[in-house]
Amino acid sequence: MASGSNSARRVASLMRPSRLDPGVCRSCQESLGRRSYASAATAPTGVASSTAPVSTPSSAIEPVYTINAGVVLSRPPQITRDLEPFEKAFFFYQKRLNERLALPFTKYFYFKRGTPADVDWKNKIKERRTPARDVGNYNAYDNDAWNDELLLGAKESEPEHMVEALVHDAETTANATSQDTSKKEEIPRPFSRVTEADKKGDQRSLNRLLSRTLYLLVQSKEGYWKFPSMPIEKEETLREAAERTLAQTAGVNMNTWMVGFHPAGHHVYTNRKPHVDQVTGAVTHGEKTFFMKTRIMAGQADLSSSAEKLKDFKWLSKDEISKYVLPQYYSHIKNMLADR
């Protein structure tokens, strides 16, 4: 048994490469020898894998598309959104809860007895029962203070009712302190959230839907609606092409700001049949439009000098856009539009 193992070691020592250090122990030399045999065995496989790839035939050419630069020109919301019924009830409940948790109002610290301000205070406190002017007829220190929730159909939580209560209180104070009793002083009310353009249905006006984001849509000479877009010229970046597109389609009477240098989305349209240019003979299979986000600060669109002979334009919200554009077009652009 020992002689067989010794003979195997002698054979291994003879097959060992001469570059190994003779000072290495016998077991390490055997393991190094096995590694060299394994690498030699796998060498043919590596050679076989280095064969040249098969070249594809020249007939397999990708279809050519026209690259367009589109502009998503938007007007951001001008006012806060309308509150939901639950939000109105919650905020009104918070106001009445604050009346219950606050300390009683010390009227004689602010109003001296016998003064006109004291008389005005006594007249108002009889009417509203609380120092707050926008919580309705409620007193947090009466026996019915626990009943601080509104009933169904109550108007105290509506913003219009609160505005009228505040204006009425201010007019009462102004008329009580005025020396001319024959003339009633009127307090200016805040502007309405519904503008004249909303009442008339003027979709070309920027002064509409103040709580929503509006987007500029243009009508092409063929009759369909889209965002302003034009083909990119040679040696032109996407941002430069978008700026040129906006100037040549919607005019230069707008103060705009382009958000970034990267597109916010894209739309791919493939023709049913390849289009052949009669002049150059180039064959195109469709269009690929990349949209750049842009904000309008001032001004208005003007199509009188449009390079594409556009028919009309509208400022529409996201919900309204879906009613004008094609369904396939809307499915590509809806995710880059703001819901509000």
Q: Per-residue pLDDT for 273 more than 50?
A: yes
Q: Per-residue pLDDT for 46 more than 50?
A: no
Distance CA 45, CA 297 (A): 67
Name the maximum alpha-carbon separation found in the chain: 135
Delimit the domains of the chain by residue range.
65-79+208-336, 85-177
Give pLDDT, residue 98: 87
- Pairing, β 254-258 against β 283-299: antiparallel
Nearest alpha-carbon partner for 72 in 281, 329, 278, 304: 329
Which CATH class name applies to 65-79+208-336?
A: alpha beta
Q: Which has more confidence, 76 or 176?
A: 76
DSSP class of residue 74 equals E
- Token pair, residue 68, equals 């367009």
Distance CA 68, CA 65 (A): 9
Distance CA 7, CA 37 (A): 19
Instruction: Give the pLDDT confidence of 67-89 residue by residue, as tens digits.
Output: 999 999 999 999 999 999 899 98
Average of per-residue pLDDT across 217-238: 94
- Reported in sequence order, the residue ranges of the chain that DSSP labels E, i.e. its strands, are 65-75, 214-219, 225-226, 229-231, 254-258, 265-276, 283-299, 312-316
Confidence of residue 34 (pLDDT cuts 50, 70, 90): low
